[in-house]
A and B are shown apart, each in its own frame.
Chain A
Amino acid sequence: MAQVEKRESSAPAPAPLEWEYAPAPEARDVVQLEERYGLFVGGEIVQPQTGEWFASISPSTEETLFEVALAGEADVDGAVGAARDAYENGWSGLAPSERAKYLFRIARILQERSRELAVAESLDGGKPIRESRDVDIPLAAAHFFYYAGWADKLEYAFPNRTPEPLGVAAQIIPWNFPLLMLAWKIAPALACGNTVVLKPAETTPLTAMIFADVCRQAELPPGVVNLVTGDGTTGAHLVRHDGIDKLAFTGSTEVGKLIMRELAGRDVRLTLELGGKAANIVFDDAALDQAVEGIVNGIYFNQGHVCCAGSRLLVQESIYEPLLEKLKRRLSTLRVGDPLDKNTDVGAINSKAQLEKIRELVASGEDEGAEIFQPECELPERGYWFVPTLFTNVAQSYRIAQEEIFGPVLSVLTFRTPEEAIEKANNTPYGLSAGVWTEKGSRILWMVERLRAGVVWANTFNRFDPTSPFGGYRESGFGREGGRHGLEPYLRLE
């Protein structure tokens, strides 16, 4: 069909084009792995009193990277004690302007060590280096920088109030954005004058342990930040400890409810950032090629291990076919593989358990009658992988349209009118995020008003910034992280 016929040329006929992206692995040697990582308590790396250690596995190779301490009740008690001690003997009495400078120092050191942290994050958690390099680590540093500036300005954030720190903040974070979630938790807590005991996720402790070294380099007073690694039991000890004044949790709705019950009747301030099942709504007047990018970024970013992932695509019926065609085509260009390769779009699934959960839900989708699409894709032999997946013919009642999969799996549904889109989007107990794609400004605002979600991305998706409050409605949790609003959970407003 080409309008141009082949020209005769004096040069020999060119060989068929080879078009290969180079394996462009980020050098691993920027990270000096230790054999074992102890707990960070009172400014020191200490051995766990349990005497127990567990292996941290690289999800992309299944190799054991290092061992990490399993903190028990006594270890948690020691960490809370160290945090209390640091709070009462120094940190709470420190001038806010000096507190700020420690946070600025941390921000700077994170920037300086960003390459190392990015490689560590991808190695330990399986996310593509492109994301850890361009999203996780820069945002983590930005978070510290942003909240550093608040430390000595709190009285301007809450006029006519005297903001006071709460005391010891216990914080439990998930494995999907290990260092970034640490920053979301620690930066505002310290800026407000609290001290911290943080439990990194079981499968992704590495960047937290490097962060311990960052605290050392920043000469942060001992005990202001304490890190207890471990599994769910460690988290439970932390929740039950009677020395905490505040608990911040990011994780599943199921565990969030358990924590809420556990803390019932106790004077512990609580914030929860839980699951989601976000609707990403595309109207027929949307900029389609960019909507496709947004859909892909919405669900395949970080292998779909994102609580605010746009896992339910709602497409206006009048544009369904061309959009699906574009989407499938784009899916086929996604590069799945070595997280340390700069050309990789989709990395490894974080753990074997998560991979099994994804497989189980995908199987349920097929059983219930949804039509599956997976692009042809070569996967590495070792490691935990899942091909980016798209389901069509999905009914609102299917499990894949209701439950959080937390993997690279998109369910596609259709709608006819804006009212129907809202009805379907809100038909979930969750309320974390939503996406709207339309060129019509008034329709965006109409949708924004009606979507029950803490974050609405219009003509974009999965954007984060330290200045921008993030958090859920309904069963997606309560409290906000980021922005001026992110200070409130760490303050007593007298």
Chain B
Amino acid sequence: MTRVSVRKTYKLYIGGAFPRSESGRTFEAESQNVARASRKDARDAVRAARAAFPVWAGMTAYNRGQILYRLAEMMEARSSDLERACSGRGEVEAAIDRVVWYAGWADKLAQVLGSSNPVAGPYFDFTVPEPMGVVAVLAPGEPPLGGLISRVAPAIVGGNAAVVVASETHPVAAIEFAEALATSDLPAGTVNILTGFRDELAPWLAGHMDVNAIDLTGADGGSTELEQLAAENVKRVVRSSADAQSPWEISAFLELKTVWHPIGL
């Protein structure tokens, strides 16, 4: 007798939970029914991210690094699921290695990206990188897992919380990845993943007044309207490539704070 398998339902990942879209809609992608997030789901995701931000950013850098490493461990454990959702073993291994690479950056950022500034006067002056807050990420269409990781990892390692719009054509990898996130000790809401139609979701995120930055790497070409919306609250607009890996990918999601104090008796 053949056993009937228990199939997975592909849902959203918001605030550490896996809800269906509040709209009740789904769409078919990669032969699966995938939740089709609405603008209200996007709003809820931003709310979850805003709540998670102080928790995640308030952890020590050492702790954030450990949690991201734990994420890599969880991905490794799910590598066969992830492989099925992307181009295969090579992409998964590269993605896991990239998470490990960024995990190691958490407690080095301030040293590489910050500075102490020798001002001409009796003051101690230093500059430290700080997270921006809530970052919206339009994940690249491809590669399904690699593109997502390349954008999400640098966005969160410095302490930001993210709302990610998954690849429209390859959303399954993002949901599999969400399951790794959910088991990784990452505070709920630090990364939220929306599947659905990018054109429906992106403008709501670009115009959202409580989103501090938007990564348009996945907005192939036509992003003029999104950039105009981003101007509403002077969002930082980030653009890169689906396979970039460097500390400057992280710094694009960081603010710099300069502090002065007199030196005297």
Contacts and interface: CB of A to CB of B under 8 A. Distances in A.
A82 B125 CA distance: 39
Interface in B213-265: 222-228, 230-234, 236, 246, 248, 255-262
Contacts of A473: 132, 255, 257
A484 B257 contact: no
Contacts of A274: 234
B233 A460 contact: no
Interface string A252-266: 010011101101110
A458 B228 CA distance: 36
Main DSSP-derived SS at the B contact region? mixed
Given A454-B256, A483-B115, A444 B261 contact: yes
A286 B106 CA distance: 35
Contacts of A477: 234
A476 B255 CA distance: 12
B133 to A, nearest CB: 9
A253 B234 contact: yes
Given A456-B257, A456-B260, A260 B125 contact: no
A473 B212 CA distance: 9
Interface string A370-404: 00000000000000000000000000000000000
Nearest to A493: B248
B208 to A, nearest CB: 14
A475 interface: yes
A480 B128 CA distance: 12
A493 B248 CA distance: 9
A260 B231 contact: yes
Contacts of B127: 468-469, 483, 485
Of all A-B residue pairs in the complex, the 10 with the closest CB atoms, nearest first, are A265-B224, A264-B227, A260-B231, A465-B119, A467-B117, A468-B117, A264-B228, A458-B261, A257-B231, A261-B228
A478 B236 contact: yes
Residue picked from A465, A468, A469, A473, most chain B C-beta under 10 Å:
A468
A460 B260 contact: yes
A223 interface: no
Contacts of A448: 257, 259
Interface in A418-464: 429, 444, 448, 453-460, 463
A463 B260 CA distance: 8
Interface of B: 115, 117-121, 123, 125, 127, 132, 212, 222-228, 230-234, 236, 246, 248, 255-262
A260 B117 contact: no
B261 A264 contact: no
Contacts of A480: 256
A465 B234 contact: no
Range class of the A interface residue count = 35 or more
B183 to A, nearest CB: 30
A23 B30 CA distance: 82
B178 to A, nearest CB: 29
Nearest to A478: B236
Contacts of B256: 454, 469, 471, 480, 485
Contacts of B255: 454, 473
B231 A475 contact: no
Contacts of A476: 234
Contacts of B233: 429, 474-475
13 contacts: A142-B120, A264-B226, A264-B227, A265-B223, A272-B234, A429-B233, A455-B260, A459-B261, A463-B119, A465-B119, A465-B120, A465-B125, A478-B236
A177 interface: no
Nearest to B255: A473
A492 to B, nearest CB: 11
